[in-house]
Amino acid sequence: MIEVEAKAKINSFEEIIEELKKLNVEKNKTETQTDIYFNSPIVDFAKTDEALRIRKVNTDEKEELFITYKGPKIDKKSKTREEIEMKIEDENKCKKIFINLGFTNVRTVKKTRDYYDLNEYSISLDNVEGLEPYMEIETILEDGNDYKKAQENIFKIFEKLGIKKGFERTSYLELLENKDKNL
């Protein structure tokens, strides 16, 4: 699958929520996500622009666990890339497997994410511990589908919401790592 995604730093969640209301878009869920990122013993994912994580998702109803691999970004405009994700049953066993294979635990990223749906696009308002407010818009395409039209539509949605700058191709993990380096 191809994840077509763009992210922008925003001034405030309240401003975007007001703009979403003007488009008759309402929040459909809130999740708390804890992402544990790993680096490979073979290649440095920071250099290859890949990611491997265990994600714990908590909602009011349940907790779910996933392993996610993200390939390198495939263009210079967005965060579009291959994404492979599957559910797992046990976070600790998965971590132990990764560590026994030589993977190293890089960092944990925690966020609260409010989701809004606009047709086939998912809009999320992301409150990441240690960062300013961000908004992401994404859609998932089957492998082989042309992502450029979806990407174009994502930037049109941003424009409708009043976002014309502040776009960021860097992951939350990288933003936090860069912030630590600058302290």
- Provide the whole-model pTM: 0.91
Question: Could you tell me which of 95, 21, 33 has the C-alpha nearest to residue 59?
Answer: 33
| Residue 121 is among the residues annotated as catalytic for this protein | no
pLDDT score recorded for residue 143: 75
Number of domains in the chain: 1
| 3-class secondary structure, 95 | helix
**Domain at 42, CATH number:** 2.40.320.10
**pLDDT score of 147:** 87
Domain range for residue 125? 2-181
What number of other Cβ atoms are within 10 A of residue 118's Cβ? 17
Catalytic residue among 37, 116, 134, 172: 37
Spell out, as residue ranges, where the chain has pLDDT lower than 50. Answer: none
